[in-house]
């Protein structure tokens, strides 16, 4: 396979949100490129201008259709929200080059990934289950990614050529995503629990005592700082996290264990994410909690 830098269309992105922009920034800083990108937001007049500005700012060739983005692409990175992953695979499958590697980097259940793999493989593409294992900032393209499936070795080699940090894990399509999904039960669930705990404590006027008690029990955690961070993440990315957690619940369901905890996490993340509260990463936990409480109160009136 040709290196992504040898062909103007050698690498394409489907979905150009936070992850796509972070990967592209890292790739270009490492001397790779150029890249093409398509995002469904360019189809909506209300969001098209802003998304095209994202293309321009990142220095990618912005496409109006999946067909334009994938023309000649030997590497395709799919980075959409979890609820759009199957739809994106269907759209991409129509225009994939024979033998092209399709990296499904979306946060989906193994069964969802397996369904998408059948769609991609049926048209001659090579599907790679890719699980992004950490926030894309600050590491950008160097964020750890697990890959699995029959084309994991080829995918790992292609990602390494783009200066990424992949690691192939044993197993079929779904193995990498199982690791990410099951990890998210704890990571995203802890965010939801923290939201419920801290918002309740602030509203009751007992947050100082509650967080002091938690610090005594878990002295290395720094609950004030971590609470602020987790609430900011939910406020900023709650809707996207909720979509992921619905896939997590499906993962647990498919294992025969019942994903009720993950569904509850999805509901809390979605509620907070839809408030539209602009949270700052350096904001004090109590100030952010009060703003979220005010927004919740207004939303429920």
Q: Would you tell me how many other CB atoms lie within 10 Å of the CB of residue 295?
A: 16
The pair of three-digit structure tokens given for residue 34, joined into one six-digit string: 């150029």
- Start-to-end CA distance of the chain, whole Å, equals 58
Give mean pLDDT, residues 208-236: 96
| Mean pLDDT of the region 134-157 | 97
248, 191 Cβ separation under 8 angstroms: no
- pLDDT cut 70: percent of the chain above it: 96
Average the pLDDT over 157-169 and give the result: 97
Tokens 């692409």: give the residue.
Answer: 73
Segment 206-223 mean pLDDT: 97
CATH of 4-173, one of 3.40.630.10, 3.40.50.720, 3.20.20.20, 3.40.30.10: 3.40.50.720
Q: Where are the domains of the chain?
A: 4-173, 182-300
pLDDT at 292: 97
Q: What is the pLDDT of residues 81-115, one digit of tens each?
A: 999 999 999 999 999 999 999 999 999 999 999 99
To the question of domain 182-300 being in CATH 1.20.1740.10, the answer is no
pLDDT in tens, 259-280: 999 999 999 999 999 999 999 9
Q: How far apart are CA 70 and CA 92, in angstroms?
A: 8
Decide if 88 contacts 82 (C-beta within 8 A).
no
How confident is the model at residue 2, as a pLDDT?
38
């Amino acid at each position: 396979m040709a290196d992504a830098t040898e062909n103007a269309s050698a690498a394409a992105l489907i979905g150009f949100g936070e992850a796509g922009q972070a990967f592209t920034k890292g790739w270009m800083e490492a001397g790779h490129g150029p890249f093409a990108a398509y995002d469904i937001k360019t189809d909506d007049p209300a969001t098209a201008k802003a998304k095209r500005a994202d293309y321009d700012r990142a220095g990618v060739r912005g496409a109006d259709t999946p067909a334009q983005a994938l023309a000649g692409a030997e590497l395709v990175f799919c980075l959409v929200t979890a609820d759009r992953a199957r739809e994106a695979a269907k759209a991409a499958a129509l225009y994939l080059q024979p033998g092209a590697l399709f990296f499904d980097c979306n946060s989906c259940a193994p069964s969802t990934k397996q369904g998408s793999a059948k769609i991609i493989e049926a048209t001659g593409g090579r599907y790679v289950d890719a699980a992004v294992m950490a926030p894309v900032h600050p590491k950008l393209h160097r964020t750890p990614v697990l890959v699995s499936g029959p084309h994991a070795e080829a995918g790992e080699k292609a990602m390494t050529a783009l200066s990424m940090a992949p690691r192939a894990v044993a197993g079929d399509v779904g193995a990498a995503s199982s690791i990410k999904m099951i990890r998210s039960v704890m990571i995203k669930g802890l965010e939801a629990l923290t939201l419920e705990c801290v918002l309740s404590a602030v509203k009751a006027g007992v947050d100082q005592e509650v967080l002091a008690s938690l610090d005594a029990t878990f002295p290395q955690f720094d609950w004030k700082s971590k609470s602020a961070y987790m609430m900011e993440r939910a406020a900023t990315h709650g809707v996207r996290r909720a979509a992921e957690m619905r896939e997590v619940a499906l993962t647990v369901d498919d294992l025969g264990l019942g994903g009720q905890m993950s569904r509850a996490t999805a509901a809390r993340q979605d509620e907070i994410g839809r408030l539209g509260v602009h949270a700052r990463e350096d904001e004090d936990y109590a100030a952010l909690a009060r703003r979220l409480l005010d927004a919740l109160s207004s939303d429920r009136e």
